[in-house]
Structure 1
Amino acid sequence: MIEIENFRLYSANELNRLGYSSNSLTDLTRQKAITRLQRGFYIIDDEFDELELIIQLFPESILCLNSALYYYGYLQTKPREYAVAVDKSHNRNKYRHNSLPLKAYFRDDKYIRLGLHQSSYRGRTINIYDRERTICDCIRRKNLLDHQTYQAAIKGYVGDTAKDINRLLTYASILKIQKKVELIMEAWL
């Protein structure tokens, strides 16, 4: 058998090609030499970067809400769960996870691609909502955030030099929350 690298995600097929049978993978999992993340995917160390694994396992998902807020620096502490938006047509079982702190929001939204932006995290491409879409989602789905997170989101956006108020108002109009957004922004600006 060939030596496998730590901190790398492997598919079961890759490990089979390297000489590890299904039985040996089961034994290694029991011995805690490897961690089974989900059916068909393994990692060799428990000290893994959760966000990097989420990007690899769910490349179609979009970072949203508190995950996007943290990415943009509006939140100081890492969220307990990574929030991702996923098209409603995707298999829900794929996103149920014991090893990763993941919260998937399945959207039947005709606006799921509105504000979609691709960025980079540790050399990997991630799908994430831009700042303006993230703030619109925070206002639309205020009930999903605690008061402190909501306040930090608005305050962080207002102080952000990369903000685009015109884009924010355009998104707010499309999402039918323009009055709400205008009231909130008037109070902060």
Structure 2
Amino acid sequence: MLFTYSQCKEKYGSQYQLNKAIKNAELYQLEKGVYSDKKRESDICVISFKYPCAVLTLNSAFYYYGLTDTIPEKYILATERGAAKITDGRVIQKFENSGTVQLGAVEVEHEGNNLHIYGRERLLLELLRNKTKLPFDYYKEVLSNFRKIIEELNMQDIQDFAYELPKSAMIMELLQLEVL
């Protein structure tokens, strides 16, 4: 499980006790301000923990849900348009219109930690919205995998989310033509 510096300081009482716990391998400092009770944590867990207001999307989320077998080179995080720039080299930041970033976001458990990630319904819409920005073969692979699970998705959520997002007419047309 991951912890912030504040949580660790509260748990151990002082900087001295915190350093002692690290020295005794009761606690591990993974990055500045990020601690764990395990020696190693996956990058996706650390990144989701470090940026709690951001949402994992596109390639990162497609891979997590098993919609592609292509391992993403970088993690893509959606943030509010006015959010601070993320300088982590492992991350590509995608700015979204205010009010739509958390639309369709869910918390899922992964390796004992929570990931803030788009649900599959919102992810389908992100695929359609970014059709021209993704390689054609990759787009077709992910779309094909969405078609296989379309019966599991909540169509009402997809429609509700689509009307909240920019380019809703285009999204609904693509949904009819390519998915259903």
The two structures have a TM-score, normalised by structure 2, of 0.72
Q: Post-superposition shift, 1:178? A: 3.6
The aligned runs of 1:76-115 (5 Å cut-off) are: 76-92=69-85, 95-98=86-89, 101-115=90-104
Match of residue 144, structure 2, among 143, 155, 160: 155
Contact 2:2 2:49 in 1 (8 A): no
Cα displacement string for residues 51-70 of structure 1 (whole angstroms, at most 9, x for unaligned residues): 11112211221111111111
- Structure 2: which amino acid aligns with 1:82? Y
Structure 2 runs not aligned, ≥5 long: 20-27
Q: Post-superposition shift, 1:82? A: 0.8
Match of residue 44, structure 2, among 44, 51, 68: 51
Q: Post-superposition shift, 1:183? A: 3.8
Contact 1:139 1:181 in 2 (8 A): no
Deviates more, 1:121-130 or 1:159-168: 159-168
- Structure 1: which amino acid aligns with 2:159? L
Residues 40/155 of structure 1: CA separation in 2 closer, same or farther (3 Å cut): same
Contact 2:131 2:139 in 1 (8 A): yes
Residues 109/150 of structure 1: CA separation in 2 closer, same or farther (3 Å cut): farther
Partner of 1:169: 159
Q: How many aligned residue pairs are there?
A: 167
Say yes or no: does 1:118 pair with 2:107: yes
- Structure 2: which amino acid aligns with 1:97? D
Cα displacement string for residues 17-43 of structure 1 (whole angstroms, at most 9, x for unaligned residues): 3465xxxxxxxxxxxxx9874x54578
Partner of 1:17: 16
Q: What root-mean-square deviation, in Å, do the aligned CA atoms of Structure 1 and Structure 2 show?
A: 3.2
Using the alignment, how far apart are the partners of 1:144 and 1:47 within structure 2?
34
Partner of 2:126: 137
Using the alignment, how far apart are the partners of 1:40 and 1:122 within structure 2?
20
Structure 1 runs not aligned, ≥5 long: 1-6, 21-33
Contact 2:58 2:123 in 1 (8 A): yes
Cα displacement string for residues 115-165 of structure 1 (whole angstroms, at most 9, x for unaligned residues): 121211112222111112112112212243222221122111111142233
- Structure 1: which amino acid aligns with 2:153? K
Contact 2:121 2:157 in 1 (8 A): yes
Partner of 2:177: 186
Aligned partner of residue 149 in structure 1, secondary structure: helix
Contact 1:136 1:181 in 2 (8 A): no
